[in-house]
Structure 1
């Protein structure tokens, strides 16, 4: 195996049902069969040098101990299970000897790297399955903790290897690659600035919203809700219905096994979701909790934590998860496509942590989610038509200052944007709005109000969606963050309906706001 290539080493022990000292000659034939047939089956000739190979073995009592090496093709950890199957078949058939178990004594990755920082070594060392990591002779050496057979079946060593490679790749890209430039595909003419205040401050004073104890949450009162409904109805009329989308209502409590199929979420941003722990069905489990609440008039969170079950769900962070599960393992026909569906039935939840900002970045917010399934050409055409319709609404009806930016989804790590003149090269178009209160246009962060995506085959593969004749089908989705649309509108036009664009003013109508002796702080003129 070449010195400048990745090397994977495995040492493992097979626990047999009987002593096998007298079977060494037969075991040697099994090892040869594994090396010459089983481990190289399906491996292209150019990769044979990288395939797994048993380089040493010996017998100790009832145990068979192996050392396997490989490159990155047909890797050594995967070879363990393939050899176990072969061993059980050969010894069981001829000698009635079974394989009672296996132990991994060593799994080591040796990856060529010119130089490495202590920060990167520490980051790799902190991975759950990593026991030790060090740098030696232009190689980073990563030793894994012992893994069980069940973890081998789940390809845990391969997944750890992929994470290590990602960390090293990120480090390399950070050294040689500048931040990607903002690619503005098109942009509106400058709009007249009517309002410069932070809308959250004015909304609180006028009583359009009221504080709620939850971080990144508000109680929205009548005028805010009427404006939200007005904008949502405009989007329904001008975008969704005109493009032929049909309504669905989807669950917002998402099982973790479904979330696991969503690209990037649990692997990349698990810190950005709310996790739900269901209670046990036994009322007696809450006896102590109820007594403490009754006596102390406090909520004993430590007791509650010990009563509830482990997390089984997340509150929907994407809104489209049930759409893809709906099509999972179904067989579609190109002749019946495209499917164009939308959901506007509830809230979306994301844990923003320190990123919460007024009305612009919330942890509980409204969205209209559009999804589309079709041929590659259909999906690209649908996504682009959504962008066009959204821009028309933003420009002609809402009179906001906008731009369309070519972007890369978070789950496409290191993804590059191709030639933007050909739309199929662009995974995402974001529609962004300038907010005057954030400062100068050239320096201020614009607010994304719509993310319009094509996934290609990513979701089709993850959710096992099939076409009857194996013809290619793609998926895509668009999130219209209507809470952000309201923020962008108020930041541009202010809170006096007299100053609003005509269609919004007409649909908004009048309202009555309940008042108390102390709230709201200001009365609208």
Structure 2
């Protein structure tokens, strides 16, 4: 099972059995995480720049965002920084009769400053998005964190849950990060992806009304809808599995292979 480096730092090639395995992983994650939703999207590697701006990504993470240009001139597109950003415009202006959910896989890009194993610039992300009331989103987030922790355990990947924060930019960003951690809005499941290196393989996030207000999504009472999401870095999961069980898929425990395909 191979994940080969390329001349570009933070960019790897996935080949053979590893690519087939990731296809199986997405199917398992859809069953495990999507819950009430049968709606699944395969998103492109580009996103409307206006969506990134309205969502606040361009302000909070300018150091990670990459614009698409042609002939040195910026276009109306940016490279997708997270799969969930494709979901919110689908609900723009809607009043939700009840909780909504969908899953999405996207090719993502972030201009990471480090090239340590697992800290990729180009990667695939599986996400499930939940929209509803605060209680519906928080209950869902905590349930999915528990589900994924138990799944990683079944895969023989030792993970640890901990509160986390996003790398917001500038002094205001540091205050936002402190508040995010203090409020327990973001949790991660981190696992070893190489000797002495742990990376977040899973993250779950509660956004409060941020995206509901930005995209005019309302709950039944007319207030901005709240949202939550979970994300799984597919290449990071692959690296964690390879670190735990070795590079030869056929030599992995049968129980692990079953958990990846059933």
Q: Same fold (TM over 0.5)?
A: yes
1:394 aligns with 2:155: no
Residue equivalent to 2:53: 260
Structure 2 residue ranges without an equivalent (≥5)? 169-175
**1:266-294, CA deviations, whole angstroms, 9 ceiling, x for partnerless residues?**
2232121221124xxxxxxxxxxxxxxxx
Question: Paired residues, what number?
Answer: 253
Give, in angstroms, the shift of residue 402 of structure 1. 1.0
Local SS of the residue matching 2:221: coil
1:500 aligns with 2:245: no
Give, in angstroms, the shift of residue 410 of structure 1. 3.8
Local SS of the residue matching 1:272: coil
1:375 to 133, 138, 141: 133
Q: Distance in 2 between matches of 1:489 and 1:340?
A: 28
Q: Distance in 2 between matches of 1:428 and 1:503?
A: 30
Q: Is contact 2:194–2:240 with CA below 8 Å preserved after alignment?
A: no
| Structure with more contact order per residue of length (Cα contacts < 8 Å, sep ≥ 6) | 2
Q: Computing the radius of gyration over CA atoms, which structure comes out larger, 1 or 2?
A: 1
Residue equivalent to 2:88: 324
**1:334-387, CA deviations, whole angstroms, 9 ceiling, x for partnerless residues?**
xx221010012x31111113x1224x1111111111111011110001111110
Give, in angstroms, the shift of residue 313 of structure 1. 1.5
> What is the TM-score when the length of structure 2 is the normalising length?
0.86
> What is the TM-score when the length of structure 1 is the normalising length?
0.45
Q: Distance in 1 between matches of 2:122 and 2:102?
A: 23
2:241 to 480, 489, 497: 489
- The alpha-carbon distance between structure 1 residues 257 and 339, as it changes in their structure 2 partners (threshold 3 A), is same
Q: Distance in 2 between matches of 1:219 and 1:210?
A: 5
Residue equivalent to 1:212: 6
Q: Distance in 1 between matches of 2:244 and 2:68?
A: 37
Local SS of the residue matching 2:177: coil
Residue equivalent to 1:458: 210
Q: Distance in 1 between matches of 2:246 and 2:16?
A: 16
Structure 1 residue ranges without an equivalent (≥5)? 1-202, 279-303, 419-424, 439-444, 510-525
Q: Is contact 2:216–2:224 with CA below 8 Å preserved after alignment?
A: no
Residue equivalent to 2:108: 348
Q: Distance in 2 between matches of 1:454 and 1:220?
A: 31
Local SS of the residue matching 1:415: helix
Give, in angstroms, the shift of residue 416 of structure 1. 5.6
- The alpha-carbon distance between structure 1 residues 210 and 449, as it changes in their structure 2 partners (threshold 3 A), is closer
